[in-house]
């Protein structure tokens, strides 16, 4: 199955001019596919997945309380996706509320408030502890001044697929074997991701009975999606990062087609 799937996906990827990084990790099956999986891409909102995991790590260490509240102020309002930038100043939201908005609606204002609360360095420490070399959080959303200084948020398909695999298997560990996020934390993260509003890529062509927890990302020519997919034949994580598509619709359909190929191969293989 693995070789067949690799060949199918490689042929599809070669048919487009965009650069693609793809990774698949079996959760409860022997499945691993890497096609450009270590290529670094601008992460866009995909970085919100490792940020979420880092927040759960901080919570389990007692350094963050999900019931703690932050107050929305004018200086928090951030362009792009989300709803908070349209709501009134003085609104109080729990850290958990902000995390849900960050994932489900990809709310950039919520994301930046959480980055301010957690700090960039603790998130980077978490990424270092799990052994990531390419995935990095160096700035807040829409901080173009930081980006111009070379501080960019980056990721690669392989590392994000690994993180989602660990979540679905019920534990995130450091490279030394220490548990960073428990089964309960992993289940809660996936529960949030299952409520995802943007479902026109990895989940789009899959049958209704297939359960998907996903997070998308999009920024200037980059179109991404990352997910855990549960099927009757088994579950897997799938990450597709792209760079170079000229329009969102073409990129979304390409990612949806790749996702369907993976599902059909897994579902119909003996």
Q: Name every residue whose Cβ is closer than 8 Å to that of residue 99 and which is 6 or more positions away in sequence.
A: 52, 55, 66, 110, 114, 192
pTM of the full structure: 0.96
The domain ranges of the chain are: 2-268
Distances (CA, A) of 221 to 35, 100, 135, 176, 240: 20, 26, 19, 37, 14
The per-residue pLDDT for 105 is: 97
pLDDT digits (tens), the chain, 270 positions: 889 999 999 999 999 999 999 999 999 999 999 999 999 999 999 999 999 999 999 999 999 999 999 999 999 999 889 999 999 999 999 999 999 999 999 999 999 999 999 999 999 999 999 999 999 999 988 786 776 677 899 999 999 999 999 999 999 999 999 999 999 999 999 999 999 999 999 999 999 999 999 999 999 899 999 999 999 999 999 999 999 999 999 999 999 999 999 999 998 876
The per-residue pLDDT for 227 is: 98
The per-residue pLDDT for 47 is: 97
d(CA 131, CA 95): 26
The per-residue pLDDT for 269 is: 72
Q: How many CB atoms lie within 10 A of CB 60?
A: 16
Q: How many CB atoms lie within 10 A of CB 232?
A: 10
Token code pair at residue 97: 């509320």
d(CA 216, CA 105): 10
- Residues 132, 134, 136, CA angle at the centre, nearest 5°? 85
> Which CATH architecture does the domain made up of 2-268 adopt?
3-Layer(aba) Sandwich (3.40)
The per-residue pLDDT for 144 is: 65
């Amino acid at each position: 199955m693995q070789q067949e799937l690799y060949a199918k996906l490689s042929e599809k990827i070669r048919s487009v001019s965009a650069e693609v990084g793809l990774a698949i990790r079996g959760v409860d099956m022997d499945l691993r596919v890497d096609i450009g999986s270590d290529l670094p891409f601008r992460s866009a909102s995909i970085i919100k997945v490792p940020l979420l995991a880092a927040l759960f790590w901080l919570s389990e260490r007692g350094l963050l309380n999900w019931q703690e509240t932050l107050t929305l102020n004018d200086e928090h309002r951030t362009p792009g996706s989300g709803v908070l930038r349209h709501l009134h100043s003085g609104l109080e939201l729990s850290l958990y509320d902000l995390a849900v908005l960050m994932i489900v609606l990809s709310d950039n204002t919520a994301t930046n408030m959480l980055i301010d609360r957690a700090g960039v360095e603790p998130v980077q420490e978490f990424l270092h502890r799990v052994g990531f070399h390419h995935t990095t959080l160096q700035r807040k959303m829409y901080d173009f001044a930081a980006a111009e200084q070379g501080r960019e948020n980056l990721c690669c398909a392989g590392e994000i697929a690994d993180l989602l695999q660990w979540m679905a298997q019920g534990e995130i560990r450091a490279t030394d074997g220490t548990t960073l996020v428990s089964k309960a934390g992993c289940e809660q993260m996936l529960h949030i991701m299952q409520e995802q509003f943007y479902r026109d890529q990895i989940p789009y062509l899959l049958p209704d009975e297939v359960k998907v927890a996903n997070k998308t990302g999009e920024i200037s020519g980059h179109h991404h999606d990352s997910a855990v997919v549960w099927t009757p034949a088994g579950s897997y994580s799938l990450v597709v990062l792209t760079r170079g598509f000229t329009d969102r619709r073409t990129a979304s359909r390409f990612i949806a087609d790749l996702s369907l190929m993976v599902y059909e191969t897994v579902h119909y293989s003996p």
